[in-house]
Structure 1
Amino acid sequence: MTAPLPALPAKIHPLVRDFLDSRDAVEDTLVRFGSPVHLVFPQVYAENLKRMRAVLEKRIPQHRICYAHKVNQSRAFVRTAEHAGIAIDVASPQELASAIGAGFGPMRIEVTGPKGDVFLRDLIDCGATINVDNLWELRRIAELAGDRAKVPVLLRVSGFDGTPMSRFGVPIGHMDRAFDILSAHRGRIAFLGFAFHIDSGEPAERVRAIDACLNLVEQAYSHHLAPTVLNIGGGFRQVFTADADRFDGYVRSLREALLGRGESMSWANNTFGYHIEGGAVHGTPVFHKYANTIPATRMLDDLLTAPLERHGGRTVAQVAGDNLLTVWLEPGKALVDHAGVTVARVVFVKELADGTVLVNVDLSRDSVTPADQEVMVDPIVLPSAAHESAALPVEFGDGTVRPLRSAADTAPALRPAAETGPVGVYFAGHLCLERDLITNHKVWLARCPRPGDLVVFPNTAAYHMDLSAASASMHPVPAKLAVAHRAGSFQVCRDIDYEPHIPVGLPPRGTPPRGPRRPQAPRRSTGAP
């Protein structure tokens, strides 16, 4: 029995899969809008939001979700968030304008990241909550506030024990200076509470950060300040792979190949962050996040139910609730997970001198891959209608293998051998730069793609689409389109034109927030909940 080829099957949302199954809808979309395109699915976003909201409602009713706009520039996502009644986290004047243009009022806008003087002036005029990154910002807010309404601020904290150094936030050791500024300007600044952001899948790091912030709450009370907010940030991971065992199998084969055993699996001997020493592969690869199998909702639930030793083993949610703290969070990746794909056409296929097969498509690596990461899920090839063959399979992330077409066969005798059987390929971009390899790892396909075929890059909504989209050689960035399933069919429009149409199961926009409660110092209760 022949061993299965190494593979990295992608997890695909059923709605996205149904759209890809609808070949007429896919082809019509590319005929109307050209290739390549980014496709976003706001209804998938709404499902993710509903699931995250359910965890919060179960564990801690006093909460606020702030959608991290930076994850994607899509207006459709922002409009979906506004329609659902949640808040938004913006990090630039342009994102602020986007949020306001989508209908967010200042009471539902939080502003994070480093800010210059001009931006601070605009934020004070706007009335949005400012998540302060550093002491200069805090002093400048006090100077600019004048005699108008108090400026609502959070203090972002960094420098927690056991956590890698971050360039963002006020070091925990400098917090006395922050307290002095807040105390001196209590007539100009409305201090809401503390915030942090840890981009780590390690739960213990977040728990330590929460415990440190609760200690700061106690210290704030001693300075006659009354914080009511604990902002636990974002960083909740995505699940890319549909099959953890096959992912692990691919990585094992890759490590063997790096040691010179078997067929090469990386372009130009790329080690992906591994290092080879003593006949073994060591280190953590740049693609380690793609191995995650824990959904964001479980990460959040585990965090809220984590015991705090300093508080007698009571959970994070219990201690926050006992002390009348509203928990804020800033999910981005978790809300757009599986809510976007990128589609491009194969331009040509070439074979190099050593037999390596390159599949060139009409977009760049930077349009689908963030920074120096390697996206470890397989693209999906949808053969062009002109190339359709009734028996050619396409494998989806749920493990199903099925044809997507029904046109007459092309005589196999007329095809090159590489096009009729399994083949390992690398996907290459359209920039005239050596680095423009979309996949530096080898992708095995049932057959070699041909010009005109469609290539689907899965789960690209989180940073992949917008973080570093290349426009070198005057190539335009891919068009962004919104896809919705309504009245039994798929409707595609430009992202900027999308409007929410169906309820997402969340409280209506007019639901009034719960009133504030009188804060008190965190208790170290050892009693039962």
Structure 2
Amino acid sequence: MTAAASPGLPAKMHALVREFIAAPGAVEDAVTEFGSPAHLVFPQVFADNLERLRAVLGARVPGFRICYAHKVNQSRAFVATARAAGIGIDVASAAELDSALKAGFGPERIEVTGPKGEGFVRELLGSGVTINVDNLWELERIAALAQTRVPVLVRVCGFSGTPVSRFGVPLARVDAVLELLAARRDRIDFRGFAFHLDSGEPAERVRAVETCLVLTERAYAAGLSPSVIDIGGGFRQVFTADADAFDAYVHALRESLMGRGEPMTWGGNTFGFHLDDGAVHGTPVFHKYANIVSADRMLADLLDTGLDSQGGRTFAQTVGENLLDVWLEPGKALVDHAGITVGRVEFVKETADGNTLVNLDLSRDAVTPADQEVMVDPILVPARAATGPNSGVVGVFLAGRLCLERDLITNHKVWLPRLPAPGDLVVFPNTAAYHMDLSAARASMHPVPPKLAVARRSGTFSVCRDVDWHEVH
């Protein structure tokens, strides 16, 4: 394809990150000092994301609490930034709890979510943290073991029109929950109902909100005093800088699957599409990359939605009138655009079918969780010593360093401004949300890429090891 015809997937990037990548020598200096590959995190972008969410809540509800979902990224710099900003933290394991405590979070600012075994439940009792209960067994163990009052939220699931979830107490079991809470109010400080939806569909979230408001009324009737509606996380990221370009790429991909135009996938991968009766059908596995609604706008829309069950009053009006606080546990929304991953080109080769492979010194699991495909274009940063001629735009597949066929970093063809050469750097944008940690492995005894923290002070960038970050850096 010519440069004009080459479909692209330009990534949306925070101005600070874009400036760092564009600064002469900045990326290369970082990996020269600390090694390649590497994950780079930007705490100042985290802080910007947080302020946008705070502004939305502050303008609409009298009381709210934001807890950073620690599981989204293990970065110490992100945790330290959250603590310095005065928000809470959501942890889902004993190790994450230890991380939060060592970072300086007091128990009153810690919420524990997710499924918990007997040992973890016992550890939490008497600690002062808020336990977001996942199931009836967990609540029963708290009631049986607690020696002092334990602050508790109860996560519920099974909302109308929402896929079945493995997390939360089914709505059909709420009567048993209310009975236990009322009977053991001497040991359980019930704060309210919670939900968390993986779906970004607004209608599903509205139905969950309305259901939790109804449950809150039932709790009042049972003699309880809930004061919180917890709406969880799951707020979408915005990956693409150009929705039209994304649509054009998907169109070209569908055409290529039909045998029209240049092949664009490795090994016949269809990304969830299927061919039937001469047409391409289905929803691609990378559909999340098509989102263009930011997390703060998504939150504002939810708070401003009129609720049929409340006579048309908005969600924000309803919680305000009933003296309820809104709690949420964003993870992806807080680290959106706050991290990049950098790898170095090791060699370039031609395959038997004529495709071009660019091998990097990292693996697929370093830039994407599980089986997800990264559908934004990486950025080629030529090495300082690069002297070769500019080949012009070229379509390539990026390959990982493991001796496994499946270690293709991109199973879709990526068009770069020129053919990379050994020593060049490739930057993957927006990898802070799960991409860095969720599937990280030490296959072939390769170490997990280190995390580095980047800050800009007085127009100058500085880079340090993530573990050495301090909020006053």
Q: Same fold (TM over 0.5)?
A: yes
2: distance between equivalents of 1:2 and 1:223? 67
1:109 equivalent in structure 2: 110
Determine whether 1:72 maps to 2:73.
yes
1: distance between equivalents of 2:267 and 2:23? 37
2: distance between equivalents of 1:126 and 1:438? 43
Identity %: 69
The answer to whether the 8 A contact 1:163-1:205 is kept is yes
Determine whether 1:10 maps to 2:11.
yes
CA deviation digits over 1:307-340, x for unaligned, max 9? 1011110000001111111000111000000000
**366-375 or 204-213, which moves further after superposition?**
366-375
The answer to whether the 8 A contact 2:237-2:333 is kept is yes
Query: SS at the partner of 1:386?
Result: coil
| CA deviation after TM superposition for structure 1 residue 236, in Å | 0.5
2:391 equivalent in structure 1: 420
| CA deviation after TM superposition for structure 1 residue 194, in Å | 0.3
2:321 equivalent in structure 1: 322
Q: Could you list the runs of 5+ residues in structure 2 that have no partner in the other structure? A: none
1:506 equivalent in structure 2: none
**245-254 or 178-187, which moves further after superposition?**
178-187
1:462 equivalent in structure 2: 433
CA deviation digits over 1:422-445, x for unaligned, max 9? 211000111111111110110011
1: distance between equivalents of 2:419 and 2:328? 45
| CA deviation after TM superposition for structure 1 residue 3, in Å | 3.9
Determine whether 1:446 maps to 2:417.
yes
| Counterpart among 464, 469, 472 of residue 498 in structure 1 | 469
2: distance between equivalents of 1:271 and 1:60? 45
| CA deviation after TM superposition for structure 1 residue 26, in Å | 1.9
2:181 equivalent in structure 1: 182
Query: SS at the partner of 1:23?
Result: coil
2:292 equivalent in structure 1: 293
The answer to whether the 8 A contact 1:230-1:327 is kept is yes
CA deviation digits over 1:13-68, x for unaligned, max 9? 11111111123222221111010000000000000101110000011131000110
| CA deviation after TM superposition for structure 1 residue 2, in Å | 7.2
1: distance between equivalents of 2:416 and 2:119? 52
2: distance between equivalents of 1:179 and 1:423? 62
1:167 equivalent in structure 2: 166
2:213 equivalent in structure 1: 214
One-letter amino acid of the structure 2 residue matched with residue 264 of structure 1: P
One-letter amino acid of the structure 2 residue matched with residue 253 of structure 1: A
2: distance between equivalents of 1:112 and 1:174? 19
The answer to whether the 8 A contact 2:110-2:129 is kept is yes
| CA deviation after TM superposition for structure 1 residue 217, in Å | 0.6
Determine whether 1:251 maps to 2:250.
yes
2: distance between equivalents of 1:26 and 1:263? 33
Query: SS at the partner of 1:345?
Result: strand
2: distance between equivalents of 1:113 and 1:213? 19
2:457 equivalent in structure 1: 486
The answer to whether the 8 A contact 2:25-2:384 is kept is no
* Runs ≥4 residues deviating over 4 A: none
1:130 equivalent in structure 2: 131
The answer to whether the 8 A contact 2:3-2:393 is kept is no
The answer to whether the 8 A contact 1:207-1:303 is kept is yes
The answer to whether the 8 A contact 1:11-1:241 is kept is yes
CA deviation digits over 1:276-295, x for unaligned, max 9? 11111111111000000011
Q: Which has the larger radius of gyration?
A: 1
Determine whether 1:59 maps to 2:60.
yes
1:406 equivalent in structure 2: none
The answer to whether the 8 A contact 2:343-2:425 is kept is yes
One-letter amino acid of the structure 2 residue matched with residue 127 of structure 1: G
One-letter amino acid of the structure 1 residue matched with residue 341 of structure 2: T
| CA deviation after TM superposition for structure 1 residue 123, in Å | 0.8
One-letter amino acid of the structure 2 residue matched with residue 165 of structure 1: V
1:95 equivalent in structure 2: 96
The answer to whether the 8 A contact 1:364-1:470 is kept is no
The answer to whether the 8 A contact 2:65-2:326 is kept is yes
One-letter amino acid of the structure 2 residue matched with residue 499 of structure 1: H
2: distance between equivalents of 1:466 and 1:202? 26
Query: SS at the partner of 1:481?
Result: strand
1:471 equivalent in structure 2: 442
Determine whether 1:310 maps to 2:275.
no
One-letter amino acid of the structure 2 residue matched with residue 315 of structure 1: T
2:46 equivalent in structure 1: 45
1: distance between equivalents of 2:98 and 2:325? 27
One-letter amino acid of the structure 2 residue matched with residue 134 of structure 1: N
Determine whether 1:118 maps to 2:119.
yes
Query: SS at the partner of 2:462?
Result: strand
The structure-2 alpha-carbon separation of the partners of 1:284 and 1:138, relative to structure 1 and needing over 3 Å to count, comes to same
Query: SS at the partner of 1:126?
Result: coil
Taking the TM superposition and a 5 Å limit, the aligned residue runs for 1:188-227 are: 188-227=187-226
Query: SS at the partner of 1:257?
Result: helix
Query: SS at the partner of 2:349?
Result: strand
The answer to whether the 8 A contact 2:126-2:150 is kept is no
1:242 equivalent in structure 2: 241
1:517 equivalent in structure 2: none
Query: SS at the partner of 1:436?
Result: coil
The answer to whether the 8 A contact 2:28-2:425 is kept is no
Q: Could you list the runs of 5+ residues in structure 1 that have no partner in the other structure? A: 389-409, 413-418, 503-529
2: distance between equivalents of 1:27 and 1:377? 21
2: distance between equivalents of 1:23 and 1:97? 39
Taking the TM superposition and a 5 Å limit, the aligned residue runs for 1:381-420 are: 381-388=380-387, 410=388, 412=389, 420=391
The structure-2 alpha-carbon separation of the partners of 1:154 and 1:487, relative to structure 1 and needing over 3 Å to count, comes to same
| CA deviation after TM superposition for structure 1 residue 184, in Å | 1.3
One-letter amino acid of the structure 2 residue matched with residue 463 of structure 1: Y
| CA deviation after TM superposition for structure 1 residue 4, in Å | 2.9
1:275 equivalent in structure 2: 274
Query: SS at the partner of 1:26?
Result: helix
Determine whether 1:338 maps to 2:309.
no
2: distance between equivalents of 1:486 and 1:422? 36
Query: SS at the partner of 1:349?
Result: strand
1: distance between equivalents of 2:159 and 2:104? 36
| CA deviation after TM superposition for structure 1 residue 222, in Å | 1.5
One-letter amino acid of the structure 2 residue matched with residue 300 of structure 1: L
